[in-house]
Structure formats: structure tokens, C-alpha cells
Chains A and B, each alone.
Chain A
């Protein structure tokens, strides 16, 4: 008889627990980013208007699909808020990061974040992992190291303050300071700059725009995205303002994905924490 009673007891207990949960449950967190329609987009992460938006905590996943992979999790989630002014989207990303990694160096890695959108609004979403052939994604990247300004102009002392250099070829007496000839000489020893590689310079508006059609394919593009960051007591808050995908309207909505790199964990490139595609819907202020 007790054999029958025991399951019954368990069932009754479970019902009580479940019932209790139902009674205490609050509304489930939104599984979409609700983008608030505003007249003007802020670029400052501390702007009070962000308080009017709904924050979505988005869990981050290891990038463990393609080599080189990240196998040790670091940043668990990113808190995202979003605004739309009818032309551009603004995202505010906030995440916990105990160490500020904004210094350049031979073995230093920068904290960073990125926002990824499909190139255009279409029925089939690109692969969330950097898009795929024929279904590109557009990405806006922010790096903490850019706070240090254009390093090349500052020289090695910006990285290692006690470094001493005897002479560079562009300092030859025959080269007039500031002349084209002098710049030419400097570029001989800086091929990445000579070739216009975008990683060799600091973006004017604090953000880099790139497109990708799968892992390993990112290509810089000229856009007008902006980024601004502040160090919070617990990590970073970064605002990224950028164009929406082609064909985007308040009615269409779209999807967005995020990535966070923790410099202290030597995360860079594909070694990152990333999100899945998150639906994004424009809402009006109530």
C-alpha cells in the first residue's frame, strides 16, 4: 500500500511546488529586444533615456563551433537596450568584466564587443555564426584599446613607457620633418599601414564596420557607425549606433546577435562569447 502512497505523495508535493511557483511567478522576461522609438539617439551610455527602455539579459555561448574555439566560458551574459530614431539603431551593451583591458601590447588583448545584424531583412536568417555564403551579416565592432588613440603616431612609448629607441630611418637628417618623403620612409617599415589595413588605425567614430559571409571572411567596409564606452563599477557599458539592415522598418523588425571579448582571457577573433540571433521589435513609448 505504501508503494502506492509514495508516488501519490510525490505528486501532491510537486503540485504544491508548482502551484506555489505559479502564484509567485512574475511575467516571463521578454525573449526579444524591444526597441524604443525616439526622436534622437544618444551615444552616451549614461544618458537618462536608456532608463526608459527595457533591458534584456542575453545569455552568451562559447564560440566552440569553429577552430580556434573558446572552451573556457568567461562573460556569462550581456544586458542590451535598444533605440530607433526612424533612421538608425542604437544599442547599449552592458556586461560584467572585472579587469579593464584597454592597454596595447605585444601580449595584450583588448576587451571588445560587437553587434551583428543581417545584411538585409529576409525570410531566411543568415547563420548566426558570422553569416554564410550568399547571406552576409554586417557587424559593428568596438575595442577598448582604441581609447588609447592612434598608437602609431604616439610610438612605442605608448605601449612601453620606458622604451628607448636610438634612431628610426625616417628620422634621418636628410628627411624634412613632416614631409612626404619622411612619411614614405616611415611607411616602408609599416606595411599594414601602407596597405591601408583598417586594424592599423583607430576608427574616427570609435567603431569599425565589417561584413562577413562565414567564419574567417570578415571584410572592412566604409560605414558611419559610432561607438562610445564607459567603464562601469562592474565592467563596461558601450553604445553602438549604426544603420539597420536593408529593408528594415518598424513593422518588419529584424534579428541581432552580440559578441563579447574578454581581454584578460586573451579572447580575440573567433575566441569569444557570442549570442544566438535575438528577435528585435520596435515599440512605441507608452
Chain B
């Protein structure tokens, strides 16, 4: 075991390999306030990558309803229970990571799902926490709530799958940090399936190898965002590159959201993988629940997001989500316009801070027809 620094934990931790960050880390921000669980992302991924034999059950991208949804079954609650207390103090994690909690003979604390655990791909869909009682009113957070959690591989800085593979069949690309599983080398031991806490490695029983999300690396190599991003009709996703906190660049959309405004948070940071998909937490959900999923900075993130209406930079950047197929590595706001740019400043896309509103007369004189805005 080596000692590495995990900035999401605010401390060093043990990991199977020494710290070796890629030249650039491809990353993403998902705005959970905008996800409607239409599963367009799921289908986009499925049709692109996992339509083959033995891949039938695989969902490299899935969207589940929290608090009850999970795919595979109880992927999160089972491990959290195994891990024990997960306490934070002043932004520093005091508990154990899954590397530090690894039992004797193992590299990682993990569990391997059974066939049955994959039998309910959208269990808990739209089930809310609690019952709607008389007298309830809409306040924040909601007394009765659920939200959608879209998930892909987190292309972690410290991947548990990579650490667990005894053959070194999993590697992290130096040029963009994408975590890939070598299909020519894998022998189907499924140590990665067991180790990945997010359960985003799947075993193909017909080829005898494990397979996982590839972050659409052929698209990234062409400067394009992944399939699940560009097919998202809710425009909740933005792909880009993240820096380490000390090198954060406010002109970089991901850095701005994660490091500068701290409005986007990692999923289960306490596990210690330094995941690179960040979530803007849903503002209507009790913070206590969200802290378990996204760490100790939820309250600040929620408040920042709620203030976005008076925060043209943040509101503007959120408008940029899903507006271009190209990866947008730079951005700026010019008055009421948000401009997404290439690294060299060339404009990729321009969106208004607020969509213009048009009011049309109730009666259309030209066509002699009454119009109204309600269905």
C-alpha cells in the first residue's frame, strides 16, 4: 500500500499504487435538479455500447430514484453498512476508506452482487420517502421527497477496480484519466466487480470478461462529449477537465463549479476513490440524507445553487449544460450572454443568460384563431 493524497477527504490515505495523476482528468458535472429520469441517457449508452450478447443486463449508465432505487440492488447501502461510521470534521474525513478497511487477504473492502441483484433495473422508481399527509405544504426541503440519480463510471482518480485487479487488466489513461478495462487481458476474475463500490463494472457471462463504461473515449478523442451527455434532453450534464484544487482555473467550467463555487460534489467521497463525476445536489431533499451521498459540503452547495437566480455567473454557466456536442473547456460571461470556448478562446456556443419570453395575443388576428398558453 502507498500513501496518496485525496483532496476530497482533506487528507492522505492508503492506496494499492502510488499517486500518479493523469496529465488531464476528464470529468463531469450533473445537475440533479434538472434530471427527470427520462432514461434517454440510459438508452443512448445502451444502443451505442451494450447491445451485444452477454451485455443484456448491463447498464453502464443508469438512472435510479433515491432514496429507494438502486442498480444493482442496494449497491450503496450494503457497502455503507459494511464500512461502518463515516464521520467528517471540518471538511476532513475521519472514517476509513474502502482501501483502509480492506479485510485480510483483500485489496479493497467490497462485495460482489448476485444475479438476483441485477434483476430489478429500476426498482424504487418514483417511490418517495414518506407519505403525503394532509396539511403538507411545499417548503424547502420537501417533507416528502425523491430525486433521480443518474450514474456512470466515475473514472476515479483512485479506482478500486484498478487496485483490485490482480492481472493489471485495468488502467487509467495518462492523457485523460479515463479508466479502461483491457478486453484482451481480462480473465474474468471479477475482483473489479467486487471492488467497485459504485458497481459500474459488469461481468459478461458469454465472453468471460468484465466490461465497463469507457466514457465514450473515441468521442473524447474527437473533442466531443459522451453519448449519455449529448442525448440528455434535460441538459443536466457537462463534460470537461478538472484540475486539482490548487490549480483550479475559474475559466474552466468544471473547475468553476467544483472548486471555485463548490456547488458540485462527488458521489460518496468517503469511500476514498476521488470520483470524477460531480453532482449538484437537489435542493428539495433533506441535507442529512444528501450528506451521506455527497459529503459534508452539501449545505453550502444547496444554498449557493438556490442563490443562483441572483448570481449571473453561476446561473449562466448552468445554462451552458447540454448546449454543444463539443467539449467546452473554457467559458466566460459577457453581460447577458454565456460563451463556451475552445482552449484557444475560439467560440463554440453562445447562450443567453435568460431565455427571452414572448407574449402572444390571446386572439391571432392573422389566422383568426384563439390561442392560449395552457394545454
**Which of A's residues lie within 8 Å of B, judged by CB?**
64, 66-71, 104-108, 151-152, 155-156, 158-160, 163, 165, 168-169, 186, 188-197, 199-200, 215-216, 218, 266, 268-270
Contact B104 A71 (CB under 8 A): yes
With A160-B115, A168-B51 given, can you name 14 additional A-B contacts, CB distance below 8 Å?
A67-B166, A71-B104, A105-B205, A106-B57, A106-B115, A106-B205, A165-B56, A190-B53, A195-B183, A195-B184, A200-B209, A218-B187, A268-B190, A269-B187
Binds A, one of B5-13, B105-113, B233-241: B105-113
Q: Please name all residues of chain B whose beta carbon is closer than 8 Å to the beta carbon of A66 when the two chains form the complex.
A: 166
CA gap between A64 and B203 in the complex, in Å: 25
Contact A155 B105 (CB under 8 A): no
Q: Please name all residues of chain A whose beta carbon is closer than 8 Å to the beta carbon of B203 when the two chains form the complex.
A: 106-107
Query: What are 16 A-B pairs with beta-carbon distances under 8 A?
Result: A68-B105, A69-B105, A106-B203, A107-B112, A152-B53, A152-B54, A169-B51, A189-B49, A189-B52, A192-B183, A197-B183, A197-B184, A199-B187, A200-B208, A215-B166, A269-B167
CA gap between A107 and B205 in the complex, in Å: 9
Supposing A70-B105, A168-B52 touch, asked if A199 and B166 sit within 8 A by C-beta, the answer is no
Q: Please name all residues of chain A whose beta carbon is closer than 8 Å to the beta carbon of B167 when the two chains form the complex.
A: 216, 218, 269
Contact B52 A186 (CB under 8 A): yes
Does B94 reach chain A (CB closer than 8 Å)?
no
Shortest beta-carbon contacts, A-B, top 8: A189-B52, A69-B105, A195-B184, A269-B189, A191-B183, A199-B208, A192-B207, A192-B209
Q: How far is the CB of A200 from chain B (nearest CB, A)?
A: 4
Contact B205 A270 (CB under 8 A): no
Contact A189 B187 (CB under 8 A): no
Does B161 reach chain A (CB closer than 8 Å)?
no
Q: Please name all residues of chain A whose beta carbon is closer than 8 Å to the beta carbon of B105 when the two chains form the complex.
A: 64, 67-71
Q: Please name all residues of chain A whose beta carbon is closer than 8 Å to the beta carbon of B320 when the two chains form the complex.
A: none
**Secondary structure call for the B interface:** loop
CA gap between A107 and B49 in the complex, in Å: 22
Q: Please name all residues of chain B whose beta carbon is closer than 8 Å to the beta carbon of A188 when the two chains form the complex.
A: 52
Q: How far is the CB of B93 from chain A (nearest CB, A)?
A: 24
Chain A residue nearest in CB terms to B168: A216
Q: Which of B50-86 contact A (CB under 8 A)?
A: 50-57
Does B286 reach chain A (CB closer than 8 Å)?
no
Q: Interface residues of B toward A: which range? A: 35 or more
* Residue of B56, B189, B206 touching A152 (CB-CB under 8 A): B206
CA gap between A158 and B204 in the complex, in Å: 13
Chain A residue nearest in CB terms to B113: A107
Contact A192 B204 (CB under 8 A): yes
Q: Please name all residues of chain A whose beta carbon is closer than 8 Å to the beta carbon of B53 when the two chains form the complex.
A: 152, 155-156, 168, 186, 189-190
Q: Please name all residues of chain A whose beta carbon is closer than 8 Å to the beta carbon of B51 when the two chains form the complex.
A: 168-169, 189
Supposing A64-B105, A218-B187 touch, asked if A156 and B168 sit within 8 A by C-beta, the answer is no
Does B196 reach chain A (CB closer than 8 Å)?
no
Q: Please name all residues of chain B whose beta carbon is closer than 8 Å to the beta carbon of A152 when the two chains form the complex.
A: 53-54, 206-207
CA gap between A70 and B104 in the complex, in Å: 10
Does B171 reach chain A (CB closer than 8 Å)?
no
Q: Please name all residues of chain A whose beta carbon is closer than 8 Å to the beta carbon of B118 when the two chains form the complex.
A: 106
Contact A159 B205 (CB under 8 A): yes
Q: Please name all residues of chain B whose beta carbon is closer than 8 Å to the beta carbon of A64 when the two chains form the complex.
A: 105
CA gap between A216 and B107 in the complex, in Å: 14
CA gap between A200 and B187 in the complex, in Å: 9
Contact A200 B112 (CB under 8 A): no
Does B36 reach chain A (CB closer than 8 Å)?
no
Contact B190 A159 (CB under 8 A): no
Q: How far is the CB of A63 from chain B (nearest CB, A)?
A: 9
* Residue of B55, B104, B113, B207 touching A199 (CB-CB under 8 A): B207
Chain A residue nearest in CB terms to B114: A107
* Residue of A105, A200, A218 touching B115 (CB-CB under 8 A): A105
Q: Please name all residues of chain A whose beta carbon is closer than 8 Å to the beta carbon of B208 when the two chains form the complex.
A: 192, 197, 199-200
Supposing A104-B205, A108-B205 touch, asked if A190 and B191 sit within 8 A by C-beta, the answer is no
Q: Please name all residues of chain B whose beta carbon is closer than 8 Å to the beta carbon of A68 when the two chains form the complex.
A: 105-107, 164, 166, 191
Q: Please name all residues of chain A whose beta carbon is closer than 8 Å to the beta carbon of B104 when the two chains form the complex.
A: 69, 71
Contact B186 A199 (CB under 8 A): yes
Q: Which of B23-70 contact A (CB under 8 A)?
A: 49-57
CA gap between A235 and B164 in the complex, in Å: 31
Q: Please name all residues of chain A whose beta carbon is closer than 8 Å to the beta carbon of B209 when the two chains form the complex.
A: 192, 197, 199-200
Chain B residue nearest in CB terms to A195: B184
CA gap between A200 and B206 in the complex, in Å: 7
Contact B166 A192 (CB under 8 A): no
CA gap between A192 and B55 in the complex, in Å: 12
Does B188 reach chain A (CB closer than 8 Å)?
yes
Supposing A67-B166, A197-B184 touch, asked if A189 and B107 sit within 8 A by C-beta, the answer is no
CA gap between A191 and B210 in the complex, in Å: 11
Supposing A156-B206, A199-B186 touch, asked if A190 and B52 sit within 8 A by C-beta, the answer is yes
Q: Which of B171-196 contact A (CB under 8 A)?
A: 183-191
Q: What does the 1/0 interface line of B250-279 toward A look like (CB < 8 Å)?
A: 000000000000000000000000000000
Q: Please name all residues of chain B whose beta carbon is closer than 8 Å to the beta carbon of A70 when the two chains form the complex.
A: 105
Q: Please name all residues of chain B whose beta carbon is closer than 8 Å to the beta carbon of A190 when the two chains form the complex.
A: 52-54, 204, 206-207
Q: How far is the CB of A168 from chain B (nearest CB, A)?
A: 6
Chain A residue nearest in CB terms to B16: A67
Q: Please name all residues of chain A whose beta carbon is closer than 8 Å to the beta carbon of B113 when the two chains form the complex.
A: 106-107
Contact A189 B114 (CB under 8 A): no
CA gap between A194 and B204 in the complex, in Å: 14
CA gap between A175 and B49 in the complex, in Å: 19
Chain B residue nearest in CB terms to A64: B105
